[in-house]
Structure 1
Amino acid sequence: MIELIGVSKRFGDTAAVDDMSLRVERGELCVLVGTSGCGKSTTLRMINRLIEHSDGEIHIDGQQIRDFREETLRRRMGYAIQSTGLFPHWTVARNIGLVPRLLKWPPARIRERVEELMAMLGLSMDEFADKYPRQLSGGQAQRVGVARALAADPDILLMDEPFGALDPITRETLQHELRELQSRLQKTIVFVTHDMDEALRLADRLVVMDGGRIRQQGHPLELLREPADAFVESLLGGEDRGLKEAALLTVGERMMPLSPRLLPRERISRHATLREALSMMLWRHAERLAVVDDEDMPIGELSLRRLVGAKHHE
Structure 2
Amino acid sequence: MIELSNVSKLFDQARAVDDISLTVATGELCVLVGTSGCGKSTTLRMINRLIAHSAGSIRIDGRDIEQIDPQQLRRGIGYAIQSTGLFPHWTVARNIAVVPRLLGWPAERVRQRVEELLQLLELAPAEFAGKYPRQLSGGQAQRVGVARALAGDPDILLMDEPFGALDPITRESLQNELLRIQQQVRKTIVFVTHDMDEALKLASRIVVMDKGRIVQQDSPQALLAKPANAFVENLLGGQERGLKQAGLLRVDSLMQALARPTSAVTGPRIKATDSLRQALSLMLWHRCSSLPVVDDQGRQVGVLQLDALMSRPQ
Q: TM-score, normalised by structure 1?
A: 0.96
Cα deviations by residue, 1:146-194 (Å, 9 ceiling, x for unpaired): 0000001000000000000000000000000000100110000000000
Count of residues paired in the alignment: 309
Return 5+ residue gaps in structure 1 as ranges.
none
1:296 offset after TM fit, Å? 2.3
- Equivalent in the alignment of 2:262: none
Matches within 5 A, 1:136-151: 136-151=136-151
Q: Is the 8 A contact 1:30 1:190 kept in 2?
A: yes
Q: What amino acid is aligned across from residue 310 of structure 2 in structure 1?
A: V
Matched, 1:276 2:267: no
Q: What amino acid is aligned across from residue 184 of structure 1 in structure 2?
A: Q
Give the Cα–Cα distance (whole angstroms) in 2 for the partners of residues 141 and 227 of structure 1.
36
Q: Is the 8 A contact 1:265 1:290 kept in 2?
A: no
- Equivalent in the alignment of 1:245: 245
1:300 offset after TM fit, Å? 1.5
- Equivalent in the alignment of 2:257: 257
- Equivalent in the alignment of 1:305: 307
1:257 offset after TM fit, Å? 3.3
Matches within 5 A, 1:138-287: 138-258=138-258, 266-287=268-289
1:5 offset after TM fit, Å? 0.3
Further displaced range: 2-11 or 289-298: 289-298
- Equivalent in the alignment of 1:83: 83
Cα deviations by residue, 1:32-81 (Å, 9 ceiling, x for unpaired): 00000000000000000000000000000011001100011001100000
1:264 offset after TM fit, Å? 9.2
Q: What amino acid is aligned across from residue 181 of structure 1 in structure 2?
A: I
Cα deviations by residue, 1:228-258 (Å, 9 ceiling, x for unpaired): 0011001110001011111111001111234
Give the Cα–Cα distance (whole angstroms) in 2 for the partners of residues 254 and 171 of structure 1.
29
Give the Cα–Cα distance (whole angstroms) in 2 for the partners of residues 4 and 166 of structure 1.
31
Matches within 5 A, 1:44-193: 44-193=44-193
1:292 offset after TM fit, Å? 1.6
Give the Cα–Cα distance (whole angstroms) in 2 for the partners of residues 198 and 227 of structure 1.
17
Q: Is the 8 A contact 1:254 1:307 kept in 2?
A: yes
Give the Cα–Cα distance (whole angstroms) in 1 for the partners of residues 212 and 168 of structure 2.
29
Which of 293, 302, 310 is the aligned partner of 2:295? 293
Q: Secondary structure at the match of 2:308?
A: helix
Give the Cα–Cα distance (whole angstroms) in 2 for the partners of residues 173 and 266 of structure 1.
24
1:130 offset after TM fit, Å? 0.9
Give the Cα–Cα distance (whole angstroms) in 1 for the partners of residues 198 and 206 of structure 2.
11
Give the Cα–Cα distance (whole angstroms) in 2 for the partners of residues 293 and 147 of structure 1.
32
Return 5+ residue gaps in structure 2 as ranges.
260-264
Give the Cα–Cα distance (whole angstroms) in 2 for the partners of residues 51 and 236 of structure 1.
29
Give the Cα–Cα distance (whole angstroms) in 1 for the partners of residues 301 and 166 of structure 2.
37
Q: What amino acid is aligned across from residue 52 of structure 1 in structure 2?
A: A
Identity %: 66
Q: Is the 8 A contact 1:264 1:290 kept in 2?
A: no
Q: Secondary structure at the match of 1:223?
A: helix
Q: Secondary structure at the match of 2:279?
A: helix
Backbone CA RMSD of aligned residues: 1.3
Q: What amino acid is aligned across from residue 189 of structure 2 in structure 1?
A: I
Give the Cα–Cα distance (whole angstroms) in 1 for the partners of residues 137 and 299 of structure 2.
38
1:265 offset after TM fit, Å? 5.2
Q: Secondary structure at the match of 2:256?
A: coil
Q: Is the 8 A contact 1:264 1:288 kept in 2?
A: no
Give the Cα–Cα distance (whole angstroms) in 1 for the partners of residues 300 and 268 of structure 2.
11
Give the Cα–Cα distance (whole angstroms) in 2 for the partners of residues 247 and 295 of structure 1.
23
Give the Cα–Cα distance (whole angstroms) in 2 for the partners of residues 204 and 3 of structure 1.
17
Cα deviations by residue, 1:191-224 (Å, 9 ceiling, x for unpaired): 0000110010000010000010000001011010
Q: Secondary structure at the match of 1:310?
A: coil
Q: TM-score, normalised by structure 2?
A: 0.96
Q: Is the 8 A contact 1:264 1:289 kept in 2?
A: no
